[in-house]
Amino acid sequence: MDNIKQTDKEFVADTYARFDIEIVDGKGSKLYDENGKEYIDLATGIAVNTFGACDSEWISAVSAQLSKFQHTSNLYYSAPCAKLAKLLCERTGAKKVFFGNSGAEANECAIKVARKWAQDTKGEGDYNIITLKNSFHGRTITTLKATGQDVFHKDFGPFPEGFLYAEANNIDSVKDLVKNNKCAAVMMELVQGEGGVLPLNTDFVKDVFALAKEENILVIIDEVQTGNGRTGALYAYMNFGVTPDIITTAKGLGGGLPIGATMLFEKVENTLNKGSHGSTFGGNPIACAGAVSIIERLDQSTLDGVNERSEYIFNALKGAKGIKSVSGMGLMLGIETEKDSTEVIKKCMEKGILPIKAKTKIRLLPALNIPMDELKYAIEILKEAAGE
């Protein structure tokens, strides 16, 4: 048998610092490696496998579509795409949805929409988009530029113009940029995920929305990671009492298949028109059929379950030995440990649980339906690893 790790090292582009584990099988929140060792998964492929590995309802939804047809171009109608768009609009108040295949692509679409909206309604020069320092919006050239972290800008310039960075939780910083530049939109995550699982203050978020209204600019909320039940609401903006003009999502939407969505609210519902944007795989029937089954299951009782599990984790880790702080919302949590997080994660892995990192924190993104006994066990292991 091939040594998979060796083959990967030899032939796959060297962009990922992989853990020394090959995943060969999984069910629910349990994953198995090449030696048959069992792990409790606390990261779900970075918030992707919403209901865990090989969830049977999701498999049924995907397989039913798979046996009909796997793809059609966007030159024809197909049911899963239309159904998913309707469902997302009904559940959010959005008016239209554009489908792509990833978070970066969803954000690219949002940026295009904001610029076209500004050009259509305000004139040529109002193209600037304000994002926040420490944000993360994707890996394409434009979404890298939108990402407010210098480390991501090294080596890949020149970048497109028109991105300005404000301080998170500092409304004056946003105000300064809006007043001194011609802007189309503010774009932000409500919990900065890759930046270290940092929720924005509710007051700041409300102030940004008020400012945007006053200044006639759009608010784009990047819900690529926070969306689809992850924070205990269907979309995180619902926790903040605001209504965005555009939301983008991806990761957990497909439950494990690549899909991205850009949801367009009233102000921008007619900004895109025929020929103004497109994506060959966008609205793929298999991915959309999976996503319909995910969104349909994100009802109040599932979301209550997310909040219960979240509360359990906060309580269990509060004041625990070796734990400095816990941040985040719902089942998107960042844990600051006294010991180096890499060391703690290594110990966790030895003991059969799989968290990941965000900056210097340990990040938890478990399945929204992780069985309570498995979660409790995993948190005990994590406490042991951090407190030893």
Contacts with ligand PLP by CB under 6 A: the residue count is 15
- What is the token pair recorded at 163? 């991105």
d(CA 99, CA 287): 10
Judged by CB under 6 A, the stretch of 56-64, 136-144, 330-338, 357-365 that binds ligand PLP is 136-144
Among 28, 52, 80, 138, indicate the residue that binds ligand PLP (CB under 6 A).
Answer: 138
Among 137, 145, 297, 361, indicate the residue that binds ligand PLP (CB under 6 A).
Answer: 137
Based on CB atoms, which residue is closest to ligand PLP, 52 or 193?
A: 193
Which residue of the chain is nearest ligand PLP when measured via CB?
A: 103
Considering the rule CB under 6 A, would residue 293 count as an interface residue with ligand PLP?
Answer: no
Q: How far is the CB of 97 from ligand PLP (least distance, A)?
A: 17
Binding residues among 190-219 for ligand PLP as defined by CB under 6 A: 193-194
Q: How far is the CB of 123 from ligand PLP (least distance, A)?
A: 29
d(CA 348, CA 350): 5
Considering the rule CB under 6 A, would residue 290 count as an interface residue with ligand PLP?
Answer: no
Q: What are phi and psi of 3, to 5 degrees?
A: -85, 105
Based on CB atoms, which residue is closest to ligand PLP, 115 or 363?
A: 363
Q: How far is the CB of 205 from ligand PLP (least distance, A)?
A: 15
Considering the rule CB under 6 A, would residue 108 count as an interface residue with ligand PLP?
Answer: no
d(CA 249, CA 110): 11
Among 28, 52, 80, 103, indicate the residue that binds ligand PLP (CB under 6 A).
Answer: 103
Q: How far is the CB of 244 from ligand PLP (least distance, A)?
A: 14
Name the residue type at position 256. G
Based on CB atoms, which residue is closest to ligand PLP, 224 or 289?
A: 224
Q: How far is the CB of 243 from ligand PLP (least distance, A)?
A: 19
Considering the rule CB under 6 A, would residue 228 count as an interface residue with ligand PLP?
Answer: no
The 3-state secondary structure of the chain, one letter per residue: CCCHHHHHHHHCCCCCCCCCCCEEEEEECEEEECCCCEEEECCHHHHCCCCCECCHHHHHHHHHHHCCCCCCCCCCCCHHHHHHHHHHHHHHCCCEEEEECCHHHHHHHHHHHHHHHHHHHCCCCCCEEEEEECCCCCCCHHHHHHCECHHHHCCCCCCCCCEEEECCCCHHHHHHHHHHCCEEEEEECCEECCCCCEECCHHHHHHHHHHHHHHCCEEEEECCCCCCCCCCCCCHHHHCCCCCCEEEECHHHHCCCCCEEEEECHHHCCCCCCCCCCCCCCCCHHHHHHHHHHHHHCCHHHHHHHHHHHHHHHHHHCCCCCEEEEEEECCEEEEEECCCHHHHHHHHHHCCEECEEECCEEEECCCCCCCHHHHHHHHHHHHHHHHC
Among 29, 225, 231, 262, indicate the residue that binds ligand PLP (CB under 6 A).
Answer: 225
Judged by CB under 6 A, the stretch of 66-74, 103-111, 304-312, 374-382 that binds ligand PLP is 103-111
Considering the rule CB under 6 A, would residue 102 count as an interface residue with ligand PLP?
Answer: yes
Among 33, 55, 126, 222, indicate the residue that binds ligand PLP (CB under 6 A).
Answer: 222
Considering the rule CB under 6 A, would residue 363 count as an interface residue with ligand PLP?
Answer: no
Q: How far is the CB of 143 from ligand PLP (least distance, A)?
A: 7
Among 41, 55, 126, 189, indicate the residue that binds ligand PLP (CB under 6 A).
Answer: 189
Q: How far is the CB of 189 from ligand PLP (least distance, A)?
A: 5
Binding residues among 234-253 for ligand PLP as defined by CB under 6 A: 250-251
Q: What are phi and psi of 343, to 5 degrees?
A: -65, -40
Binding residues among 251-270 for ligand PLP as defined by CB under 6 A: 251
d(CA 33, CA 26): 9
Residues near ligand PLP, by CB under 6 A = 102-104, 107, 136-138, 189, 193-194, 222, 224-225, 250-251
